[in-house]
Structure 1
């Protein structure tokens, strides 16, 4: 499978381009463009989306169908494989979340009443999207919106807590963290649970704002990425790795190889673990998929920031 992915990525055929100029605020005159090139075969959903340098690639599992986006980041493929959420940045440094329909190639900007919002993650049913959003107090919060651009909510909007890297805990719960605590929100935006990270995963794991926590195995496991182990000279610090924690026993095992430095983590609702990582000398990032037991396969020879649709 690795050779098929690599060969297809290197041989993209561009047969259609669609330009979408956008601003993240009506008062901002700076414009950005996301460019969509597509080779499309009907009735084949996309299975994987990832970052390839300066573009996003969405591909079917057999590589017979592919779309690439220039000028976009943070790919997030919908569970049914038909839509892609992504981030567009303008020349002023503003960021906004967009959705592209991968069949009819339409593009829609989600409206979040902010000049800076990014990092979309789909709900399992594909109806809602959560993302990080900077509110009017310049505090990072979690935003929730429907995929038709309605019912936008900012979670815990009145507090001074900065939270990062939201993901779905269940169909009706979202988690995010502030480097010290893991918060659980309901879909109305209320905090319903707070777990100190030092009590949850211990003190041997260092968390950055872009490290994510995913619940898997019907809530019995937490999959997360963190910095741990000894410092590596080539990295000027500790490597980032993927771990699985049993919620009941709090036993933690490492999923990614000790020789890897992980850059991005995504866990699909069917418990497949996608991550990108580079091995020494840490110059080329590959994309891997693993099950909960740690059986890892390479699926893309060169890429970062993977997300997968449901099987």
Structure 2
């Protein structure tokens, strides 16, 4: 059974006072492990989480990251984009958009920014994270790291923070296609990895020394995979009827059942943890219950879900 971890990346999408309420709801639902990063919520997620966890003795784990700095908040980014649209000639603007567009048949990357993994930047980031999180970092991950970013100097620094007890362990949280290369560059020091495990993601076969195997994106990045599977049900009455039949009288019946089935896939995956999050309080407890369950999906439900995935994979790319 994977352990459910509450993620804080979604804190950027809620009102300013909502994260504390979401964390309390998550705590009440049973979450005791938490995932954050300096990047999340424009730099505020670590501080909010640190304040919430202060004084709580039964926290089981806190993961943060290093490499990606906070980005400007959305109003500022919209203004910047507006200026670019007004100032750039159409051909240059088209080329700029093309840099962010995924190749045909591929999902959009979670992050296009390049990580900053110089020793000075990493040391400063770790010190800031420790201060924000009350001195507790159980796991430190290199955020959107590429294999060539893992230098001897970086490894020496990371080994030092582990030996001093500043962090419990280190690893990587990057694109699936970069994960194995980055792990190989880190050798036995890297014992943790976050990988995308949505139904349309290509799975990563992690080496044995990676003992902390965390899956994220059970619904696809931003729910993208869920929406694509839902579109199949909306367009195909035969498959929609089959889905209704196999989920009838199960916890996967109803309009939210497909999402719940995707959350419940964790028991079938080669993971020790799954990250889930929500911007809506009423969704937090169900997310914990389905992600934390130890039973695999009923075979008819699993088969119907696999059929939907196969249909989506066979569709021509719209990118």
TM-score, normalised with respect to structure 1? 0.31
Larger-gyration structure (1/2): 2
TM-score, normalised with respect to structure 2? 0.30
Relative contact order (C-alpha < 8 Å, sep 6+): which is higher? 2
Q: Which has more strand, going by share of residues?
A: 1
